[in-house]
Amino acid sequence: MSAKSICELPTPVLLLDWPVAKRNIDCAAALVAETPAKLRPHFKNHKCIPLAKEQMAAGGCVGFTAATLHEADVLLQAGMDVLLANQLVGDAAIRRLAGLAAGRPLRGLVDDLENAAAIGAAAAAGGNDIGVLVEIETGNERCGVAPGAPTLEFVRRLLEIPGIRFDGLHAYHGHAVGTVDPETREALARSTMQTVIETRRLIEGDGIACDMLSAAGSSTMQVVAGMAGVDELQAGSYVTMDCSYKSRAPMFDIALTVLSTIIHAEPDRFVLDVGVKGVGHEYGLPQIQGHANCEIRKFGAEEHTRVTAPGNTLAVGARVQLIPSHACSTCNLYEQIVVHDGDAVLDIWPVSARGYPLAPDG
């Protein structure tokens, strides 16, 4: 693609406003510059290696968090240190995990001893071991071992499993990250993390090394970064932001939009050439950037969006930018991100870790 201006791009197309994204990256790096905790950004936000390299170059990053084996594979190929923050169950997934981790900086999560034994056996079969973090259930009601004594007992038994190396703890408090009221969110983030930190101290008091605690998100990183006992922050959405997360992380700005074209226009409404297949909307309707009088009334068609616009002056062929309510799922819909500064196209970066491709061995 040889376009020099975003006005020349076919739509819909995913855009990243580079000056804004760079400010977000620098803001996060500055936040951890004077704290014991460092960044391990969640790659699932953008799945884009050139953008990940920019995060590393800004400082404060020790590596990346991945959500899928495909993400982990892409990151490892780029030379990154990776935490795969998900439970991997089943022979095929475990074999691939063990293969990816052999001789490379990849850790996984465990919260089930039988599953951990299967992972350890796969690693040991290749003459290796694999580092794991024990996930602690913080109240998010997803995965994890109960904090305190149950986690200590779990770690004691984990140490007996061949092929497994206990490296520390993982604790994602998604229920705190998603809390809208800032005072409630801060209190919840502090209380959940304090419980996890106390669990770490309990393990260390038992004579067991617990080298890392990885936790938090973009809306709680400011609070958690300063808590003694937390080593890594898994914030991800701060780079791109979206219209849902922005209210919970106001120090970061919207960098990601979807450029769309008006294909039908009337005095009080218009229709865009993008729909649910082009904009992540799990957390609400997208917003139209720079047009306060425009409101999306219906968002359910695959390739169309209906917009109410009293006194509309935008004609067929005009371009508008949509702000997704969920940046992570939006990035996963596109093969490329067009990086721009104003109207000027700076670069086009591949979204190389999107989707769920099968491994070479199936």
Tell me, what CATH number does 295's domain have?
2.40.37.20
Count of Cβ atoms closer than 10 Å to residue 139 Cβ:
15
pLDDT at 5 over 60: yes
If asked whether residues 22 and 85 sit together in one domain, one would say yes
Q: What is the mean pLDDT of the chain?
A: 96
If asked whether residues 228 and 87 sit together in one domain, one would say yes
Beta strands in 121-253 (DSSP E): 130-135, 164-171, 212-215, 232-233
pLDDT at 1 over 70: no
Percent of the chain residues topping a pLDDT of 90: 95
pLDDT at 285 over 80: yes
Residue 168 sits in a domain of what CATH number?
3.20.20.10
Domain range for 322: 6-13+252-350
What confidence category does residue 361 fall into, taking pLDDT thresholds of 50, 70 and 90?
low
What value does the mean pLDDT take over residues 189-204?
Answer: 97
pLDDT in tens, 296-341: 988 999 999 999 999 999 999 999 999 999 999 999 999 999 999 9
If asked whether residues 81 and 208 sit together in one domain, one would say yes
pLDDT at 190 over 60: yes
Q: What pLDDT score was predicted for residue 318?
A: 97
By CB atoms closer than 10 A (0-12, 13-18, 19+), residue 343 is: exposed
Helix, strand, coil in percent for the chain, rounding step 5: 30, 25, 45
Least confident of 6-15, 200-209, 238-247, 353-362: 353-362
pLDDT at 74 over 90: yes
What confidence category does residue 10 fall into, taking pLDDT thresholds of 50, 70 and 90?
very high
If asked whether residues 74 and 138 sit together in one domain, one would say yes
Boundary-marking domain end, from 217, 239, 261? 239
Q: What pLDDT score was predicted for residue 360?
A: 72
Q: Rounded CA gap, 311 and 294, in Å?
A: 10
If asked whether residues 145 and 219 sit together in one domain, one would say yes
If asked whether residues 160 and 42 sit together in one domain, one would say yes
pLDDT at 266 over 90: yes
Is the residue at 244 inside a domain?
A: no
What's the number of domains the chain is made of? 2
What value does the mean pLDDT take over residues 20-26?
Answer: 98
If asked whether residues 184 and 311 sit together in one domain, one would say no
Q: What pLDDT score was predicted for residue 352?
A: 97
Percent of the chain residues topping a pLDDT of 70: 99
What confidence category does residue 167 fall into, taking pLDDT thresholds of 50, 70 and 90?
very high
What value does the mean pLDDT take over residues 264-283?
Answer: 96
If asked whether residues 86 and 138 sit together in one domain, one would say yes
Is the residue at 80 inside a domain?
A: yes
What confidence category does residue 109 fall into, taking pLDDT thresholds of 50, 70 and 90?
very high
What value does the mean pLDDT take over residues 178-184?
Answer: 94
Q: Which two tokens stand for residue 47?
A: 């799945």
Is the residue at 357 inside a domain?
A: no
If asked whether residues 178 and 317 sit together in one domain, one would say no
Q: What pLDDT score was predicted for residue 205?
A: 98
Q: Rounded CA gap, 57 and 72, in Å?
A: 19
If asked whether residues 201 and 230 sit together in one domain, one would say yes
Higher pLDDT: 174 or 18? It is 18
